């Protein structure tokens, strides 16, 4: 199969969808790999490394001409003209971005396979987990940075100073983002409160992270109470493929202490905080009701070396499967098929269709795939 690896165009997005080692494996399996010039530079991989792995170094248009195109983030408007009847394998987060992207994918009959909705045999999200871990760790790092007085914060240091803990971190969500954020905050010595919907996880988190960690069931009154005393709030709410629910209202934010910080990791799915809006690495924060909001939609792009290695370790086996079998690989693997968001002019992920108000375009994958 002809495989294209394109350079990311999102603001300061330095990750890349394949490493030179991954390209070499694909070439050894008989595939033709075209790499856009400069695609790997942000992650430390020069064009020469890809060429030595057997890839052709090509222009943007030539890389997009592949039958399978591998990316990291969703196509931006400048990339829409390159989309066609091909397999696109990347993070899409369609319910959290402009409907224009979904409409273009349907018009071009692109088979768009989203990393974030692919499932394993246990129903987990193996391609979302690596970047969720990075984002969870990073959320506490960035939150601590913006709590500093020179950066607009209240001047609260998250940590243990001579045996006394300072700073309260409230984590909303007990998935991968939440667990990593809680671990990072507890490791710094802060007081940690986690909201979730799985009471059986309380003892697990206390055993793995800290016996002092508090676990509370997620409900509005409890969240509102904890936010009033919070220094840092991390939003890590996820509904597979769907727009994130707004579990933090504007009135809750208004009641927080001035100089506090919110890091809304859920922003790539629309955000779980009512006052959130997407920001960029170039302009990462804004202030609403005296509270600093960090809402960068591609957080792991700030640490491309780690993120690229962690991501491609998870994605490469599925890239190999798609390259070998194309649409048939999707038909043969129900978990991989769950990653299909659009195919043959239809939306194949019901949560995406509902989130965008495009239910009329929804067809189950098995039915839609018959049109390919």
Listed in sequence order, the residues at least 6 apart from 7 whose beta carbon sits closer than 8 Å to its beta carbon are 16, 36, 37, 38, 39, 60, 63
Active site residue 47: no
Residue among 97, 79, 86, 91 nearest 36 (CA): 79
Containing 33, the helix (H) or strand (E) segment is: strand 32-36
Q: How many other CB atoms are there within 10 angstroms of residue 309's CB atom?
A: 15
The three-point CA angle 330-334-336 to 5° equals 55
Residue 110, by phi and psi: left (phi above 0), alpha (psi -120 to 50) or beta?
Answer: beta
Q: Which of 31, 93, 180, 293 is catalytic?
A: 93
SS3 label, residue 82: helix
Active site residue 93: yes
Q: Which of 137, 174, 264, 268 is catalytic?
A: 268
From CA 220, how far away is CA 104, in angstroms rounded?
38
* Alpha helix stretches (DSSP H) within the chain: 20-28, 47-52, 60-64, 99-107, 129-147, 176-188, 201-208, 220-228, 250-254, 304-325, 327-332, 334-337, 350-356, 365-369
Residues in the chain: 372
Report, as residue numbers or ranges, the catalytic residues. 93, 268
């Amino acid at each position: 199969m002809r495989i294209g690896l394109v350079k990311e165009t999102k603001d300061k997005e330095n990750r890349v969808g394949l490493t030179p080692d991954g390209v070499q494996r694909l070439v050894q399996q008989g595939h033709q790999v075209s790499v856009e010039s400069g695609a790997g530079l942000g992650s430390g991989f020069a064009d020469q490394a890809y060429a030595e792995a057997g890839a052709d170094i090509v222009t943007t248009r030539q890389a997009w001409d592949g039958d399978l195109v591998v990316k990291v983030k969703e196509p931006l408007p400048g990339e829409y003209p390159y989309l066609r009847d091909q397999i696109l394998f990347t993070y899409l987060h369609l319910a959290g971005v402009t409907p224009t992207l979904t409409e273009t994918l349907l018009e071009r009959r692109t088979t768009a396979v989203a990393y974030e909705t692919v499932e394993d045999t246990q129903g987990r999200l193996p391609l979302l987990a690596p970047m969720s871990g990075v984002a969870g760790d990073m959320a506490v790092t960035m939150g601590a940075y913006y709590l500093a007085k020179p950066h607009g914060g209240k001047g609260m240091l998250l940590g243990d100073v001579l045996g006394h803990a300072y700073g309260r971190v409230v984590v909303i969500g007990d998935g991968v983002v939440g667990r990593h954020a809680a671990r990072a905050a507890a490791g710094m010595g802060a007081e940690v409160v986690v909201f979730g919907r799985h009471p059986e996880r309380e003892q697990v988190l206390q055993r793995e992270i800290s016996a002092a960690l508090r676990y509370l069931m997620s409900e509005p009154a409890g969240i509102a109470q904890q936010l009033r005393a919070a220094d840092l709030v991390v939003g890590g709410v996820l509904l597979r493929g769907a727009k994130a629910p707004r579990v933090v209202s504007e009135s809750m934010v208004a009641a927080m202490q001035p100089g506090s910080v919110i890091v809304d990791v859920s922003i790539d799915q629309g955000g779980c905080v009512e006052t959130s809006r997407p920001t960029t690495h170039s302009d990462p924060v804004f202030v609403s009701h005296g509270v600093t909001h960090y809402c960068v939609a591609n957080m792991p792009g700030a640490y491309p070396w780690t993120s690229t290695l962690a991501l491609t370790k998870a994605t490469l086996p599925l890239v190999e499967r798609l390259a070998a079998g194309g649409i048939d690989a999707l038909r043969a693997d129900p978990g991989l098929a769950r990653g299909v968001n659009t195919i043959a002019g239809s939306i194949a992920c019901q949560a995406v269709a509902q989130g965008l108000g495009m239910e009329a375009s929804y067809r189950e994958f098995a039915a839609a795939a018959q049109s390919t």
